[in-house]
Chain A
């Protein structure tokens, strides 16, 4: 289980940010960079630092798909939902991955070992269809090679 950081530690982390200067997102980024997600107390700490309210900060954070409210898995597979990947067989790649993992989007396998996330196209469409494994492209997948990849990742953690 992840231990939530203390308020003091969070306060120090966001001490540089100021109200009304466009600092909400930079503060959230800084917290996420440190912990891999935004722990609950951070919303209150950031709100106080920026003269705002936890509801506003939480509202802003949850608007975006890349602020996380929970600790990330050890290994994250982000599946590209973009058009080039789709045209070249991305859906069948996803079906194979989900079948092999037994989980849906934003769920984790036992012990938070592997997780699945929706990734957005970043213009590496020449590798389509693809996934990012902890940010690293694994491209030109077929349903078979995608299954193979998942098995490899499962085995790596055993």
Chain B
């Protein structure tokens, strides 16, 4: 490996080791958007206050999110001897006092314990790996998160950070692309297009300069997997981009972060600066003669800027309107130069593939889709958190195991697999987290945000909501999309107000068949929610339009028919949704 890189990694490891052996209690609090929403900063202030006043030989630090988002702030406490580490949850400011009392007295605090991270289980506290939320998870992308300080390049280096880049430095571009292709990594934004093939398009492009774009626009409401990475381990993304730059001969990268993620923006900026200080970004990287720049770019609130061509016109300073492809970004992207666009999670896998090899990387599951994928779950379930799992588990497992079941009194009625363009599905516990079953149903398993709903959710109200979202976020270039989404919202509002007509089925069908003519996926797939909901929940449309009833009791102008959802057998649901 590059001698300079080898020495900075070795030094970081030594520092990490001596930190570990400091003989001090180590307290680490998650500090990300989710934990700040639940009072992390006040918790941190209280813990620090108590450490100072009690003169505890302890140091306090921060980490990214373990994924137990509904139990933030999470805190790990590592014993002075380093033999015993426990993860606690719900260490909210009002509990911080009694919590630190116990720690200061040398006791555990079982009441808030989630599990033992290091050492043996105790009588009161089981191992973290036995927690239902952790079972079945394989944490690779999230391996550092919870352990390292996201604002420390030293911590990242100490965990073999940038070693994947070190390997890539010794390979030629073609060999890196081959390794990526062999791994079978598919684009994590949802389409699953092989990342290695995209990289090869850019590698073989002829013009220069050439650009990389890291799509951190994560616009699907209910998805925050990219945020967990950006806030929790930003150097993983820098390293991914560095590897991609070697594979594609790229000169500069733009990381486009949505406006709703200010902490992610600040951490990515800091990470890039730290990498620059170490000689990993900028001119003549590590003495290799290679130059590479990274710009961290802040969006301003526009869903279509997640679409790659919209994103590029946004960086360019124009309205963020997607355009017709071809030309594809690899032919004419940023400033009409060859460009490669990938999702955050796609780039973040590159360091894993380089460090451990394609074989290791792809061996984790039997599914056709290789590697692990991060998902966030929310809605009518008990736990709203973030997991990393191999592709393939069933929705039943997701709900029972990783979501802690449905909230009290709520029955699973259906779910949205991946954002406003992805459609809705009837409750089917057998569907797996893989791409094909959704495609077959006319849906998409998108970027990782799955939202569950129950009998109190009106399917038509959901359709109205998602169409209104698509209307608001339409770039307005295509008549089919601009006018079509408006028309769909009008029709939905009228139905919900009691003015449904038989002809509405045809009206909606017309929109389904014409909006697909829009230029970009936004317009093409805006009607997916209605299209799939018509198939999956035919009775509910009939009730609203013909009988003027809303079984969920949401549409106030209609007769409320709150009644138990019909139990749909899995095979039947599949047939319904697929017919």
User: Which residues of A are in contact with B by a Cβ distance under 8 Å?
Assistant: 20, 22-26, 28-29, 50, 52, 56-57, 59-60, 63-67, 81-84, 86-88, 91, 120-128, 136-137, 139
Contact = CB atoms under 8 A, between A and B. Distances in A.
Interface in B295-332: 295, 297-302, 314-321
A133 B457 CA distance: 27
Contacts of A50: 317
A84 B335 contact: no
B518 interface: no
Contacts of A139: 37
Given A123-B223, A128-B378, A22 B318 contact: no
Given A29-B298, A84-B379, A88-B379, A60 B223 contact: no
B217 to A, nearest CB: 11
B550 to A, nearest CB: 13
B457 A22 contact: no
Contact of A64 (B70, B302, B385): B302
A14 to B, nearest CB: 13
Contact of B37 (A65, A87, A91, A127): A127
A88 B37 contact: no
B465 A64 contact: no
B38 A127 contact: yes
Contacts of B319: 59-60, 63
A20 B336 CA distance: 12
A123 B376 contact: yes
A57 B133 CA distance: 48
B379 A24 contact: no
Given A83-B451, A84-B378, A88-B379, A124 B300 contact: no
B69 interface: yes
Contacts of B466: 83
Given A29-B298, A86-B465, A126 B316 contact: no
B335 to A, nearest CB: 7
A122 B225 CA distance: 11
B260 A122 contact: yes
Q: Which 8 A-B pairs have the closest CB atoms?
A: A123-B224, A24-B317, A64-B300, A125-B378, A66-B301, A121-B221, A137-B37, A82-B221
Contacts of B452: 87
Contacts of B34: 123-124, 126
B469 A81 contact: yes
Nearest to A123: B224
A20 B221 contact: no
B489 to A, nearest CB: 14
B266 to A, nearest CB: 13
Nearest to B377: A125
B537 interface: no
Given A22-B295, A60-B318, A66-B301, A124 B37 contact: yes
Given A22-B297, A88-B379, A121 B254 contact: no
Contacts of A136: 37
Contacts of A87: 379-380, 451-454, 457
Given A81-B469, A84-B451, A87-B453, A126 B69 contact: yes
A28 B298 CA distance: 11
Interface string B12-56: 000000000000000000000110011000000000000000000
Contacts of B453: 83, 87
Given A64-B301, A82-B222, 7 more contacts: A22-B334, A26-B297, A83-B462, A84-B221, A88-B379, A91-B554, A126-B69
